[in-house]
Structure 1
Amino acid sequence: MTQYGSNYRASASVPPAGGGGARVAQAASGGPTRRGLIGSGIGLVASIAAAGGGFAVWSTANSTNADLDRAFDLDAIPEEDRPERLNGALNLLVIGSDHREGNDESDARSDTTIIMHVSEGGTEAYGISIPRDLYVYIPEDPEAEYSDSVDKFNAAYAWGGVNLTVRTVESLTGVRIDHVVEIDFNGLVQVVDALGGVTLDIQPADAPDYYDESGITSIHGDKMFFPAGPTKLNGDEALDYVRQRYQYLEGDFARMRHQQDLIKAIMDSALSAGVLTDEDKLTSFIDSTSDAVKVDTEFNAVSTGINLMNMRSDDLVFMTTPNLGTGEQGGQSVVIYADDPQDPESSNPDAVSLWEAVRDDRVADWVEAHPEDEGE
């Protein structure tokens, strides 16, 4: 098997207390309707149709749909290597890369990866985060620099970009990925600033070397300080906060939870600012953020928005891929997916049953059968 190359960089994660099972976080109940596709930055292209409101909006929506950067051709993946599509549910892969303007894209990594599963009826949505340090099999890809290896999940993006990441997800889960939306660091800042900022409930640092009950100090750049509790953040601040992990006992699991919180905060800001209900604000928002994402060749923002018009915020459930905690594999610290990553059924039954539920569009049943994981 090919080992990872010199362009791959990653660090260890720390498991949450109590093991590495799925972590399920329900959205707040009783909130108003948030229309449109759920995902960091996805609302800027998918909710435009769902918002309604006149010819100008529809004209801008269709223009935006036509002008999207369609950077990924999933049809290039051989059909015989892909899982079968079993129903009309939507499985969207949301990738947040750490690429910044002015840097070489070949050095970018997948900092965030979430499978967004929307039920066939469009009434339920689930976001399943995949830890970037999850130790998994990365299938062979003749177009990739490296492949056919067991390594950290985000090595797939470093070696072969989005298409190898899709192949790795499909190999791991057996779930057919319908579409891909990628947003990089600059795009995320754009989205948050276009909304006038977001409010996040800042978790204070609790790792021994960083412990601070009053908040958390960034380890990046200007070393921003974020006071504990609800705090209004601009784009740069929000991005910096959701990248922190060393200051938390839960490590990367805390970071993933904060990224999930940011997705909800983006939804809340879009609603409170009237972006999805005011034609002028919506048009301005689309104009200022339409270049913030890349999508696959077949993604249709307008039709996706229409299909999800009836979705509510309390239909959104977040969780993290079931795992066995952290350990050492291949000489590096990783999140262990299974004793044998190429044969996970023997040692990670929770993950096996979750992916089966996603394939069969029965995720609600899976969540109900795992009440001990809810609310974490």
Structure 2
Amino acid sequence: MTYSGSNYRGSASVPPAGGGGGARVAAAAAGGPTRRGLIGSGIGLVASIAATGGGFAIWSTARTTDADLERPFDLEAIPEDDRPDRLNEALNILVIGSDHREGNSEEDARSDTVILMHVNEDGTEAYGVSIPRDLYVHIPEYAAASNYPEYTGSNAKFNAAYHWGGIPLTVLTVEGFTGVRIDHVVEIDFAGLVQVVDALGGVTLDIEPADAPDYYDETGVTSIHGDHRFFPAGPTELDGEAALDYVRQRYQWNRGDFARMQHQQQLIKAIMDSALSAGVLTSRSRLTSFIESTSDAVKVDTEFNVVSTAISLMDLRSDDLVFMTTPNLGTDTMDGESVVVYTYDLENPENDNPEATTLWDAIREDTVSAWITEHPDLVGGEAAEE
């Protein structure tokens, strides 16, 4: 079976940026991108709102935020020989949500959510591809890995790359099995998501009732974490803690982690909608709070330019983003672990997963729209039989 994520598609309206492809792609990262990870892109979104409706004081805050952002990721330091070539001016941003919690060591964190965001060369189309954390892939050898360098160069679940070697190894792993050049990185953790949602005054999510046998409840879904809060089915207002709780759930649905990825994508849409609502646009205090909270919540690479992102994102809306999930062969047991199977032939994935390899080709060649036209069943929230 092949599973795909949610589809939120409208007429794309990201305007071309005068500053070139880098600015356009930074825009995509800032405007769309997962749950914890993609929300980091909200920095540019808020900055764009500030530019159009918040006045000089808000715009000044955005510029200050750009200067004060924590920038620990230097992608230029990754050996060039180990990375794919850039084929055009369309750029790609890897948005990462780590499961690091306050009080726990960062060395124990894993990439709980990863979405590859792509903005086309013209800046008119934006796409997000969720990468399952349990996707079974090859993790390249990386002597500089901060944890367990001896484990690198082996096959494992995708989120092990972050645990073993942080952002650099995660980037190398994604580039290795996709062939797509990563141009920017945005990272956010649990606390960051809560900050962002609360700075917006909350979000509204359409809660999916539990359908897994052990959790079935047509009236909603009950969290298996913490205080076991109940989420009533249908549109529900959530604060940051509640939104985080909901998008962490997966066992309550038959689709498991694929349902969780879909809910993550829905949260991105909800955050964008909330940020662009009339209340946010007209409230200087809420705009300022959101900008400042977001700057505290995320980490970005050394080349991420928030101000350029703001200019490029002025017209981007939630319906302008198309979401999907990495085409895969469903779940199975490999090396004694339950995994999401990317391919049974890691050296020649085109043999049994041509949909994935052609998707990566489309991203590299900046022809994703045409790929979606040919594979409409892979853009949506349901599982589809191959």
The answer to whether the superposition gives a TM-score over 0.5 is: yes
> Which amino acid is 1:209 matched to?
D
Cα RMSD of the aligned pairs, angstroms, is 2.1
Counterpart residue number, 1:313: 318
Counterpart residue number, 1:8: none
Q: Provide Cα deviations, 1:287-314, integer angstroms capped at 9, x if missing partner.
A: 2331100001111111122123333433
Secondary structure, aligned partner of 2:65: helix
Contact 1:65-1:302 at 8 Å conserved across structures: yes
Contact 2:5-2:262 at 8 Å conserved across structures: no
Counterpart residue number, 1:44: 42
Q: Distance in 2 between matches of 1:236 and 1:279?
A: 24
Q: Distance in 2 between matches of 1:219 and 1:118?
A: 36
Post-superposition shift, 1:24? 5.4
* Residue 299 (structure 1) aligned with residue 304 (structure 2): yes
Specify every segment of 5 or more residues in structure 2 that has no aligned partner in the other structure, as ranges. Answer: 16-26, 382-386
Post-superposition shift, 1:69? 0.7
Q: Give % identity.
A: 67
Decide which of 317, 337, 343 is 1:338's aligned counterpart: 343
Superposed counterparts of 1:134-149, under 5 Å: 134-144=135-145, 145=148, 146-149=151-154
Secondary structure, aligned partner of 2:45: helix
Q: Distance in 2 between matches of 1:268 and 1:243?
A: 21
Q: Distance in 1 between matches of 2:125 and 2:186?
A: 19
Counterpart residue number, 1:25: 7
Q: Provide Cα deviations, 1:301-343, integer angstroms capped at 9, x if missing partner.
A: 1112212333343321000000011101010000000112232
Q: Distance in 1 between matches of 2:60 and 2:10?
A: 34
Post-superposition shift, 1:351? 0.3
Q: Sort the Cα spacing of 1:30 and 1:55 in 2 relative to 1 into closer, same or farther, 3 A.
A: closer
Q: Provide Cα deviations, 1:116-173, integer angstroms capped at 9, x if missing partner.
A: 1011121111010000000000001111123101010001011111111000000010
Superposed counterparts of 1:279-294, under 5 Å: 279-294=284-299
Q: Sort the Cα spacing of 1:308 and 1:20 in 2 relative to 1 into closer, same or farther, 3 A.
A: same
Q: Distance in 2 between matches of 1:374 and 1:345?
A: 20
Counterpart residue number, 1:3: none
Secondary structure, aligned partner of 1:335: strand
Q: Distance in 2 between matches of 1:301 and 1:261?
A: 24
* Residue 197 (structure 1) aligned with residue 179 (structure 2): no
Contact 1:117-1:125 at 8 Å conserved across structures: yes
Contact 2:5-2:258 at 8 Å conserved across structures: no
Contact 1:24-1:373 at 8 Å conserved across structures: no
Greater shift after overlay, 309-318 or 149-158?
309-318
Q: Sort the Cα spacing of 1:103 and 1:284 in 2 relative to 1 into closer, same or farther, 3 A.
A: same
Q: Provide Cα deviations, 1:211-234, integer angstroms capped at 9, x if missing partner.
A: 111111111111111111111011
Counterpart residue number, 2:130: 129
Decide which of 347, 353, 363 is 2:352's aligned counterpart: 347
Q: Distance in 2 between matches of 1:164 and 1:186?
A: 24
Counterpart residue number, 1:57: 58
* Residue 262 (structure 1) aligned with residue 267 (structure 2): yes
Specify every segment of 5 or more residues in structure 1 that has no aligned partner in the other structure, as ranges. Answer: 1-18
Post-superposition shift, 1:23? 4.2
Q: Sort the Cα spacing of 1:43 and 1:23 in 2 relative to 1 into closer, same or farther, 3 A.
A: closer
Superposed counterparts of 1:90-239, under 5 Å: 90-144=91-145, 145=148, 146-239=151-244
Contact 1:218-1:240 at 8 Å conserved across structures: yes
Alignment: residue pair count: 357
Q: Sort the Cα spacing of 1:164 and 1:317 in 2 relative to 1 into closer, same or farther, 3 A.
A: same
Q: Distance in 2 between matches of 1:241 and 1:24?
A: 16
Counterpart residue number, 2:75: 74
> Which amino acid is 1:25 matched to?
N
Q: Distance in 2 between matches of 1:186 and 1:268?
A: 21
Counterpart residue number, 2:384: none
Q: Sort the Cα spacing of 1:244 and 1:29 in 2 relative to 1 into closer, same or farther, 3 A.
A: farther
Q: Provide Cα deviations, 1:191-230, integer angstroms capped at 9, x if missing partner.
A: 0011111110111111111111111111111111111111
Counterpart residue number, 2:246: 241
Q: Provide Cα deviations, 1:37-56, integer angstroms capped at 9, x if missing partner.
A: 21232343212442214332
Structure with higher helix content: 2
Greater shift after overlay, 303-312 or 256-265?
303-312
> Which amino acid is 1:50 matched to?
S
Post-superposition shift, 1:61? 1.3
Secondary structure, aligned partner of 2:276: helix
Secondary structure, aligned partner of 1:290: helix
Decide which of 250, 253, 263 is 2:255's aligned counterpart: 250
Q: Sort the Cα spacing of 1:268 and 1:24 in 2 relative to 1 into closer, same or farther, 3 A.
A: closer
> Which amino acid is 1:70 matched to?
R
Q: Provide Cα deviations, 1:21-72, integer angstroms capped at 9, x if missing partner.
A: 54451336799x9996212323432124422143322321111011101011
> Which amino acid is 1:259 matched to?
Q
Contact 2:12-2:124 at 8 Å conserved across structures: no
